[in-house]
Structure 1
Amino acid sequence: MSGFAPTDRVLVSPRHLADAGTDPLRDALGPLIRLFGWSHTHDAATGHITLDSPCHGAFIDFTPSNPYGPWWRTSHHEPYWQAQFGRHTPIEAIAAFTQALPQFLGDTRHADRIPLSTNTLVECARLNGWDMTADAQATVFTSADGHCVLTHAPHADRRWQIQHRLADDADTAWFASVTQATPARLSELEADLLQRRTQAEAEGRIGEIEGIDLTLTFLRAKRDETQRRAQRPAVHLGIPARRRPQESE
């Protein structure tokens, strides 16, 4: 693609071969800010961006300075889950995910401008020529060219995982995943948030500190609830005895 400038917009097919784009704020986060009123912070020096939904049920963290881990994190409360996207994840995929969040949270404004697919995952795979295999542990969808693999393992910590890479080309490698809530995972996220809060406090980012504090409150409440449920003793109701029919006198 040497005939194009770095800022040129081009169409790439299939979409999983695309890259992360040049303006994540406009492409993936802009609609949430402009159309739905999500509060946000932006550190121009590092490119770090955070968004908080009006109902405080979802929180987005974009960290482009992370050299190896995910650049995008979306956390949801009640029930708790977190979605992560790597550096080279196509911006179309991330934008489709973030722009669906308001409707998921019950905000139906602009639903006519952001239509959601009604097809099931199996139907989408079939329409795009993806192969599907399944066993007792997971269902695996593979793109027609074999470069992109989506795995659904309902009992794993990372229920959904997507991995993509062309042979011998690290720049085409990207990943995405959605995790379920576990006490260990919640504790790990709390430690990460505390570290980010310390850094934000040292740099005087007041708005970001408030968002992190709110997320910590939800996170700790969810962790405590998960631990309480795990400690509840099992209730044995027993097996009802069969009643003998009464003999007629």
Structure 2
Amino acid sequence: MKRQKAQGWGPGEQAEQHYLVQPRALAGGGDLRHVSEFLRASGWRDRSRRNGPLVLDSPDRTVRIGYNPHVQPGGWTIHSKATAHQEAWTVSLGRQTPVEIVAGLTDALTRPRAAHAPSVWAPLQKQSWKTSRRDGYFGATSPDGAAWMEFRQDPGGQALWWSGARDEQGNGWSATFTASTPMHLVQAFSEALASPEPIMRPRGRVPYSARIRTTSVSVLPSQLGAWQQARVAAARAVTWARNSGAAGHLRTTARPYANPRTRARR
């Protein structure tokens, strides 16, 4: 049967099948540009070499973000130099960490810290994650058991944050945060991890797992471009406002995937 065009579709455009994936922690890595284009629009310098790993430096050159799939175990590394008010810190995230969850942390690097004290556990508890506590350990597990967030401290005083997700076959990713990682960044990560919003992936890029629920949607290339551009435009607007002294309370995020054509659910 020939697929009909919906009202408002552009001339000559063909809808493409995508899937909204839940839980988001098991959606797979995704398009790196979701992270990198936002940072570039926020004034970060691209230090990547041609055909080499992704490397981006913050405007003040204190933080470097890299993605390298060509080493083992590969994935994301975020490192900050020590400053007068902050110890050096490092975050490592596996290559299958969804870029939308990575962006929860990296987007936060482009914004000033909030005045209120951060709480890593509040976003998880809000989404009914199960928490547990014992000596030197505090953890939370998602209601479906697929994802976790933990804080560990060994008898020698070494501490770290550990997070990740696994499906029933053991496939997934993990992330570690040194104990010196600023708490507002760990909270930004936990918010993105616990978010109930689905993540969109194109056909052929959805991991196979019995734990994954998908909704099939028809998406136009122009829609995908508009969603990506809206995110970049928001970053540019905030960067311009900050540099011009007119920052105020500009919105830096938009509700993703507005109005795709829903087809089916599994």
What is the 5 A alignment of 1:1-249? Answer: 9-21=18-30, 23-24=31-32, 26-34=33-41, 36-46=42-52, 48-66=53-71, 68-78=72-82, 79-104=87-112, 120-154=119-153, 157=158, 159-170=160-171, 173-180=172-179
The residue identity in structure 2 corresponding to 1:160 is W
Give the superposition deviation at 1:41. Answer: 2.5
Cα distance, 1:43–1:157 mapped onto 2, change above 3 Å? farther
Measured in 1, the distance between the counterparts of 2:162 and 2:54 equals 24
For 2:153 and 2:111, how far apart are their aligned partners in 1?
A: 24
Percent of aligned positions that are identical:
25
1:42 to partner: Cα distance: 2.8
Deviation of 1:10 after TM superposition, in Å, equals: 2.9
Q: Which amino acid aligns with 1:15?
A: R
**Greater fraction of residues in strand:** 2
How far apart in 1 are the matches of 2:36 and 2:121? 28
Higher RCO (C-alpha 8 Å, min separation 6): 2
Query: Which digits, 9 at most, give the CA deviation of each residue in 1:30-75, with x for residues without a partner?
Result: 11112x22111233434x1111111111011111212x32410000
Deviation at 1:8, TM superposition (A): 5.3
Residue 147 of structure 1 deviates from its aligned partner by: 1.6
Q: CA deviation at 1:83?
A: 0.5
Structure 1 residues 65 and 102 mapped into 2: Cα distance closer, same or farther (>3 Å)? same
CA distance in 2, matches of 1:119, 1:145: 25
Would you say the 8 A contact 1:29–1:95 is kept in 2? no
Q: Is 1:84–1:178's contact at 8 Å kept on the other side of the alignment?
A: yes
Unpaired runs of at least 5, structure 1: 1-6, 109-116, 182-249
Q: Which amino acid aligns with 1:145?
A: D
Q: CA deviation at 1:158?
A: 5.3
TM-score (norm 2): 0.54
Matched AA of 1:94: V
Q: Which runs of 4+ in 1 moved over 6 A?
A: none
Gaps of 5+ in 2: 1-15, 181-266
Is the CA contact (8 Å cut-off) linking 1:71 and 1:84 kept in structure 2?
yes
Structure 1 Cα separation of the partners of residues 56 and 164 of structure 2: 26
Q: Note if contact 1:63-1:71 (Cα within 8 Å) is conserved in structure 2.
A: yes
Matches of 2:20 and 2:159, distance apart in 1: 31
Give the length in aligned residue pairs. 159
SS at match of 1:99: helix
Give the conservation status (yes or no) of the 8 Å contact 1:29–1:98: no
Cα distance in 2 for residues equivalent to 1:42 and 1:55: 17
Structure 2 residue matching 1:168: 3-state secondary structure: coil
Highest CA radius of gyration, 1 or 2? Answer: 1
Query: Distance in 2 between the 1:148 and 1:53 partners?
Result: 30
Which residue matches 2:232? none
Q: Which has the larger helix fraction?
A: 1
Any conservation in 2 of the 1:129–1:143 contact (CA below 8 Å)? yes
Q: Report the Cα offset of residue 143 of structure 1.
A: 0.7
